[in-house]
Amino acid sequence: MIAVYVTTYVLLSVGGLLTLWRMLRGPSVLDRVLALDVLLVLIVAGVAVGMAWSGLDLNVALLLSVALLSFIGSVSAVRLVERWGGRG
């Protein structure tokens, strides 16, 4: 079962690196916002895998708060870009 957790962490890490690349190279602001949202989802998934591996559910509040902040941040950024008229 440890191989499953390690494989999951490796895949999440590769996804995180590719997401960071998109954040740095994104041609528009919306690409960067979407990459940030994906990165936060990957962080939530990594914490959830860590909770499953350890068997402890101590970080449920952390998962919920990061997911909520991710959603609110994405919606706020999209509304801001919408006000700018899509420039960026």
Q: What is the pLDDT of residues 5-41, one digit of tens each?
A: 999 999 999 999 999 999 999 888 888 888 989 999 9
DSSP 8-state assignment for residue 75: H
Burial tier of 25 (Cβ tally within 10 Å: 0-12, 13-18, 19+): exposed
pLDDT tens per residue, range 37-80: 999 999 999 989 999 999 888 878 888 888 898 889 888 888 88
